Every structure is written in C-alpha cells, then in structure tokens.
Amino acid sequence: MRRPVAILSRTAVAAVLALLSGLTIEAQQPSATIRLPAARHEGAMSVEAALWARRSVRGLARDTLALADAAQLLWAAQGVNRPDGHRTAPSAGATYALEILLVASRVRDLPAGVYRYRPAIHALDPVAAGERLPDLVQATRQQWIGDAAAVIVLTAVYERTARRYGERAERYVPIEAGHAAENVYLQCAALGLGTTYVGSYSDTAITRVLALAPDERPLGLLPVGRPR
C-alpha cells in the first residue's frame, strides 16, 4: 500500500511544481488592458504658441513623466477625436496603417515595459514587462535616449493602406507617420516637454525589442522627457 502512496506523492509534487512554475511565468507576463486618463481637449497654450515653441530636443532630464501626460501624447498621435472613430492625425482613406507603442521607463503609476495604444478605447495593452530603454539605446546607438522618461514608437501595417491604394501605400503611410509625429511635437510643446524624431536604428533590433508582428514595420521613435 505504501508504494502507490509514494507514487501519488511524487506525482502530486510534480503537479504542484508545474503549477507553481506556470504561475511564475504568468506573473512575468503583462497584465490586462490599462485604461488611460481622459485626454484633455483644451489647454493653456494656443496652436500658434505651440508652433512657435516647437523644437527638436535631445537634452532630456532624467525625470519622471505623469501618466496623464503620456496619455495626452498618445491621444495627440492617434487618438479618436470624432464620434465616427476618426483620429487626430489624417490617414489616406481612413485606412489607419499606423500603430503606436509606448516604451515606458519612468512614467508614474505605470510599470516599466512596452505597451500598445488602443485608440478606440484610449487604453494600453501590455506587450512586454520590464525596462526596455537600454535596448532602444543599443538599437539606435544614441545614448541620449536613455534619459527619456518614455519613448513613443510609430509602426505601420502597410497592407491596411495597400489593400485600397496598392503601391501608393509606400508613399501614403510615411506621410501619415509625419502627421502623427508633428502632433506629438506640438503636444510636447504645450506640455513643456521635449522630443526628437529618431529614424536611425536597426529595424531588426527594434522589431525584436518591441515584439512587432511580421507584417509590422517600425517607422520612428519619439523619446519624451523634460528638457534640461
């Protein structure tokens, strides 16, 4: 009678260890969708003043960024601004090839990690947990990015636009990215933040760090922080 008990005991232990292992792995995975603070539709700075203040800023203080400000920047890049679902940045035929990711490092009330912005519900879907800023520094070979509180990454699924416009998607999608990037620049100016569009990096490294889909291409990075 003892032998079956011993066998069951070993089986039970193995099951418990497997369960614990699974829980450990699960604990390292990103959590559920994160709702963002509502975007503000009015501010103290006029559009004209924001245009006057817009600069490319690489000298960033190693400071924190409020979650509300990060949410405002994401909304400026690609948020919904009409009941019909259209967005803050124009898109050819409203095909919306762009995807917006946030690499958070020192964003208050948001754990460090990679997040994907969901414009329709103004929320973040976690992609990967943990600090990823050093990986972006390595992928771009630009040390100043390590001082950013967060990095907004523009990527695109060209097929969304190509289905309607064919080869002209190669022209239309980068134009769309330019619209979104300028929105981020102007919103940074209004919030007293700094950024610079970064287009020099290893596509392979960025794709790996951000766990991009096979049909998704990186188009640019916008490191954000307080100017020094």
Q: Are residues 22 and 44 in the same domain?
A: no
Both 179 and 167 in one domain: the answer is yes
Please indicate, yes or no, whether residues 100 and 12 belong to a single structural domain of this protein. no
Give the pTM. 0.86
Instruction: Give dist(CA 125, CA 74) in Å, integer.
Output: 13
Tell me which residue of 189, 186, 167 sits closest to 178, measured CA to CA. 186
Same domain, 74 and 40: yes
Please indicate, yes or no, whether residues 42 and 15 belong to a single structural domain of this protein. Answer: no
Quick one: 1 and 87 in the same domain? no
| Structure confidence at residue 31 (pLDDT) | 62
Fill in the DSSP letter of residue 131.
Answer: -
Residues 123 and 22 reside in one and the same domain:
no
On whether both 26 and 38 belong to a single domain, the answer is no
Q: Are residues 100 and 187 in the same domain?
A: yes
Write the CB contacts of 104 (distance below 8 Å, at least 6 apart in sequence). Answer: 70, 110, 111, 112, 113, 114, 115, 149, 150
> Containing domain of residue 57, as a range?
33-227
Q: Is the distance from CB of 90 to CB of 80 less than 8 angstroms?
A: no
Predicted local confidence at residue 21, as pLDDT: 37
Q: Could you report the average pLDDT of every consecutive run of 10 residues in the chain (228 residues)?
A: 41 38 38 93 96 97 98 98 97 98 98 98 97 98 97 98 98 98 98 98 97 97 97
Give the CATH number, domain containing residue 39. Answer: 3.40.109.10
Same domain for 57 and 111?
yes
* Residues 62, 108 within the same domain: yes
Angstrom distance (rounded) from CA 183 to CA 104: 19
Residues 1 and 43 in one domain: no
Q: What is the rounded distance in angstroms from the CA atom of residue 146 to the CA atom of residue 18?
A: 38
The whole-number pLDDT of residue 162 equals 98
pLDDT of amino acid 36: 98
Domain count, the chain: 2
